[in-house]
Every structure is written in structure tokens, then in C-alpha cells.
Amino acid sequence: MTRTKHNAKELAKVLSFARFLIWCVLHLHIEGTLDAELLLQLAKKYKVKLKWKTVAQIRAAYQFSSLDEFLALYYQGCNVLRDYDDFYTLTLRYLTRAARANVRHVEMFVDPQTHTNRGIELAMVIEAMADAALEAQRQFGMTTLLIPCLLRDHPIESGMDTVESILDIRQRDKRFKNWIVALGLDSSEANYPPKLFKRHFQRAKEAGLLLTAHAGEEGPPAYIRQAMKVLGVNRLDHAKRCLEDRKLVAELRRTQMPITNCPWSSLRLGVVNKLADYRLDTFLDEGLCSSIHTDDPAYFGAYEWQTLEACVETFGLTMDDLFQLSINSIVGSFASKARKIELKAEAYAGAARGFQHIQL
Ligand SMILES: [Zn+2]
């Protein structure tokens, strides 16, 4: 399908339709929602000396040119996340912002090792996030799930200990049994193929967790195949480089494997030179189960709505495309069958209102 760039009038129409759609967030690192204001506030609380004094200086510092450069800053930011209140505030702050963008269901990534390595107790982190999630459900009717991720550039054994801690917390407290829904794999991808984590993923699967992994952002298509064949993932994060392999694309289409695309993140990390090079339109034209996400919105300077706007403008996305992306985000989620039915009903009702609105 050929899409043309929207003129100002068409762009306004498509965006005003998009305001009525609902979204599921499937690729969001909670630590990546630490905005400059909260970073300054927490640094003050803990008397941590930062290199930057103002919000503007922090934003200027977020001009990294690679995934590794970004991760160095990101882990520095995590250092001010220490007690229950910090994690509770961080989580509720993000969920409140997401609710304003019509997000109805959020699956949050958390990196346990980033915190346990600093002596922070994982159970406390999870409890704070769960309480914030409960408050978001009470205030906005929004549902959430949690996906702890293994840092692939950390020692393999530390990853195994992390899996055991997650399973232990999940078993000890019945609130977490279904809420901690899956195991993920993230951080620096190059030189850390998914197959290194075969045992970890097998153990998690046996204990009843679903599986997802970052693959094919920087790594080659072979890493995507490994995530599918060796780890047995239920979903792929990024998978941008699948487009380099025709057979892989055909398989992803046939299996309708959900893919969480993060175009703006790839632009900011220098994975692509310009947003158009991300080829989100190709993902749609190939009939893949693709949806758009923000990854680490505070660091990349774009939350859900800004990301969507940029994609509509760059790829000339149509109203049909947007509706498809909304539905894909529901289909690709790990929500229960019953919740997916509710979300789909909301999506259809929203789209109907959107069409009515633009025809007025
Ligand atoms: Zn990510």
C-alpha cells in the first residue's frame, strides 16, 4: 500500500481521529520514565550530586548517540530510585500520564538486577509498583501487568538468581501470582545472543510465566530466530531487523507473533538515521502483528502521544493503520481473554466515535 505524506488538513483529521482510540502499552521500562523533574527531586532527597543543576541541563545531557551511551546515563539515573516511595511515585506518575493518552492497559518492564545490585530489595520494588498500579486501576480503570527483565550484559548466574527471586516473590504473595505475567530480556544486545539465556527462560516457562525478549534492535535477524526457537518467546521486543530476512518476515506473518516496535527510541539511539528508515509502514504492509511503543519515554523525549504523532506524520499512517495498531496492541498483550474482549469493545466504540467526530 502506498501512503503519501499528509497535508496539514489531513494530518489534523487523522490525529483528531487518533484521539478516540485506546492503547495497550507493551514495551515500557519503568526506570525509563524517570523524568528530569523527578530525577532532580530524588537527587535532592538523597543528597546525590548530579552533574546537572536544571531540567534543561538534564534534557541536554540526554543527547546520546548509541545504546551503550544511553545505558550509561540510564543506570546513573536509577541510582536515585531507592525506597518504596520512589518506586511508587515513579510508577503512578507514569500511569497517570499514560491514562491521559487513552492508554487502558500497561505491561511494565522492571530490571531487578539494576536495583538488587545496589542492595535494594526486589520484593519492596515490586510491592511499591503493585500498589501504584492498584491506585491507577482505582483512579482510571486501567489494568497493568509486570514483566521483570534480565539484563543480558550481566553475569549469567546473576540472571538465574534473579529468576529464582522472581518466582519466589510470585509464589509467596498471591497478589503477584498472575500480575507478574512474564519474563523479559533487555539491555545491551550486541554480543549477547538470546541463546545464552535458554536455561533461565526454560525455568520461567515451567513455572508458568510467559516470555518476551528484546531481539533484532541492534542484533541481527539470527537473534530474532533464536529468541523464537531457543527461548520460545510469546512476543518479540523491537525485532526491527526482521525486515532484512524475507523468510523470517513470512514466518512472523504466518504465526502472527506480536512485535513491540519502538521507532522513536531507535531514532534516538542511532539505530536508524531518520525516522522514515524505521519502515513502520512496511511492518503494517507485511501484515505483521506490530504495535508502537515508547521504550524509555523520559530519556527519549517522547511519550505515547508524541510517538504516535511523529509516526503519523513520517509514515503517512491512515486511520485504518491507526486502528490496526490499536487492535494489535490489544491482541499482542498478555491480558486475560476477558480483559482483551473488554479492550476490543472499547477500541471499536472509540473508533466509531472518532469517525463520527471527524465527519461533523
Ligand atoms: Zn526496551
Which domains occur in the chain, in start order?
8-359 (3.20.20.140)
pLDDT score recorded for residue 61: 82
Residue 274, Ramachandran bin (φ over 0: left; ψ between -120 and 50: alpha; else beta): beta
Helices in 141-175 by DSSP H: which ranges?
156-172
Tell the residue number behind the cell numbers 505524506, with chain if given. 5
Tell the residue number behind the cell numbers 524475507, with chain if given. 246
- For 293-337, write each residue's pLDDT tens digit: 999 999 999 999 999 999 999 999 999 999 999 999 999 999 999
Helices (H) and strands (E) in the chain, counts: 18, 8
**Residues 277-290: what's their mean pLDDT?**
98
* Active site residues per annotation: 217
- For 138-159, write each residue's pLDDT tens digit: 999 999 999 999 999 999 999 9
Residue 360 predicted with pLDDT over 80: no
pLDDT score recorded for residue 18: 97
pLDDT score recorded for residue 129: 98
- For 178-225, write each residue's pLDDT tens digit: 999 999 999 989 899 999 999 999 999 999 999 999 999 999 999 999
Percent of the chain whose pLDDT exceeds 90: 89
Instruction: Answer yes or no: are the C-beta atoms of 315 and 276 closer than 8 Å.
Output: yes
* Grid cell digits, residue 159: 540472571
Nearest-5° Cα angle at 353, 351 to 359? 105
Instruction: Answer yes or no: are the C-beta atoms of 334 and 131 closer than 8 Å.
Output: no
CA of 290 to the centre of ligand 1 (A): 15
* Grid cell digits, residue 330: 490489544
Closest CA to 124 of 46, 176, 47: 176
Nearest-5° Cα angle at 185, 68 to 206? 165
CA of 203 to the centre of ligand 1 (A): 22
Q: How far apart are the first and last CA of the chain?
A: 28
- Going from the C-alpha of 160 to that of each of 136, 208, 263, the distances in angstroms are 32, 16, 31
pLDDT score recorded for residue 64: 80
- For 17-76, write each residue's pLDDT tens digit: 999 999 999 999 999 999 999 999 999 999 998 888 899 988 888 888 788 878 878 888
Residue 1 predicted with pLDDT over 90: no
Instruction: Answer yes or no: are the C-beta atoms of 263 and 311 closer than 8 Å.
Output: yes
Q: Find the largest Cα–Cα distance for the chain.
A: 60
CA of 8 to the centre of ligand 1 (A): 32
In a 3-state reduction of DSSP, which class is residue 295?
Answer: strand
Instruction: Answer yes or no: are the C-beta atoms of 141 and 188 closer than 8 Å.
Output: no
Q: Which residues surround ligand 1, an ion (CB under 5 A)?
A: 295
- For 84-140, write each residue's pLDDT tens digit: 999 999 999 999 999 999 999 999 999 999 999 999 999 999 999 999 999 999 999
Alpha-carbon span 321 to 229, nearest angstrom: 30
CA of 294 to the centre of ligand 1 (A): 8
